Amino acid sequence: MKLLISNDDGISALGIRTLANYLAEAGHDVNVVCPDRERSATGHGLTLHQPIRAEIVEGIFHPAIKAWACDGTPSDCVKLALWALLDAPPDLVLSGINQGANLGTEILYSGTVSAAMEGLIEGIPSVALSLISHTSKDFQPAAKFAKILVDQLAQKPLPDLMLLNVNIPALKWEEIAGVTLTRQGVRRYIDVFDKRVDPRGKTYYWLTGEVIEDVEPPIGLNLPQNVPLDVHVVRKNYISITPLQYNLTYADGLNKLSEWEFNFP
């Protein structure tokens, strides 16, 4: 398959090098366009008021891979790749492998998921891949599963245009319990700002939020209740796959608000 790979951890991140090299060695046609530095938690931001630059990078990836480092956001990288850098659209957009989970409501902030979502917006099926650890450097099991998933999608394409948000436990391959389709959960945080003073006496704040609980999403989202939550299955050492779409319309809200009446003169 012709693959476009991006991330939000930057061109030097071990996760993207492991993923890209693993898939190139398996015979896939791999192109990499990703930020030139870490751009985590940037959401779906785009650069509008300054130019975006991209430079070809050599010596980091497998020799068969063509790679660019871009000074924009993860979404910038994918948009630039699809509209300016690649000679033809890819069959699949991959983002990752991220250093750290993207579960529940974290996907709203995630640059990893946003890079994949940009592919989806452009009509290309996409996959976001995250390793559930901020410290583990063993990305091989996650890359191995990515290859299995890509090979499966090559043989049996997705039935509809969607994004697969994949979270892989930071375990040895033989310790992973299996793969489970999931729905998005909710992660609640203590959003603590650490108040500090710089050497010039100016006050600044550093966000240091921590997860305090994983909870059920509200009822009324038209989601099957028998499907487990992503935040729950990863605790049992399963790989979580949650299908996502960019349309955020609240269907139950439409039904409830249909009773409203607006009287204009």
Residue 63: give its domain's CATH number.
3.40.1210.10
In-domain check, residue 257: no
132 shares a domain with 75: yes
196 shares a domain with 66: no
Per-residue pLDDT of the chain (265 residues; tens, 9 = 90+): 999 999 999 999 999 999 999 999 999 999 999 999 999 878 888 989 999 999 999 999 999 999 999 999 999 999 999 999 999 999 999 999 999 999 988 899 999 999 999 999 999 999 999 999 999 999 999 999 999 999 999 999 999 999 999 999 999 999 999 999 999 988 776 767 889 999 999 999 887 766 655 666 666 566 677 899 999 999 999 999 999 999 888 888 888 888 888 887 6
162 shares a domain with 75: yes
In-domain check, residue 262: no
199 shares a domain with 137: no
pTM of the model: 0.91
Q: Which of 210-242 are b and which e, b meaning 16 or more Cβ less than 10 Å from the residue's Cβ?
A: eeeebeeeeeeeeeeeeebbbbbbbeeebbbbb
Residue positions forming the annotated binding site? 8-9, 40, 98
7 shares a domain with 108: yes
In-domain check, residue 264: no
| pLDDT for 248 | 86
98 shares a domain with 200: no
In-domain check, residue 148: yes
Tokens 């729905």 belong to which residue?
Answer: 183
CA angle 238, 244, 247 (to 5 degrees): 160
237 shares a domain with 123: yes
Q: How many residues does the chain have?
A: 265
| pLDDT for 225 | 73
62 shares a domain with 10: yes
79-87 long-range contacts, Cβ below 8 Å, gap at least 24?
A: 79/46, 79/118, 79/122, 80/33, 80/52, 80/54, 81/4, 81/6, 81/31, 81/33, 82/4, 82/118, 82/119, 82/122, 82/124, 85/31, 85/33, 85/54, 86/4, 86/31
Question: Which structural domain, as residue segments, surrounds residue 63?
Answer: 2-184+225-246
Tokens 């650890």 belong to which residue?
Answer: 133
How many distinct structural domains can be found in the chain? 2
Residue positions forming the annotated binding site for a divalent metal cation? 8-9, 40, 98
In-domain check, residue 58: yes
| pLDDT for 20 | 98
145 shares a domain with 74: yes
Which one, of 15, 5, 76, 73, lies nearest residue 40 by Cα? 73
6 shares a domain with 114: yes
Q: What is the DSSP letter of 140?
A: H
Which one, of 62, 61, 44, lies nearest residue 8 by Cα? 44
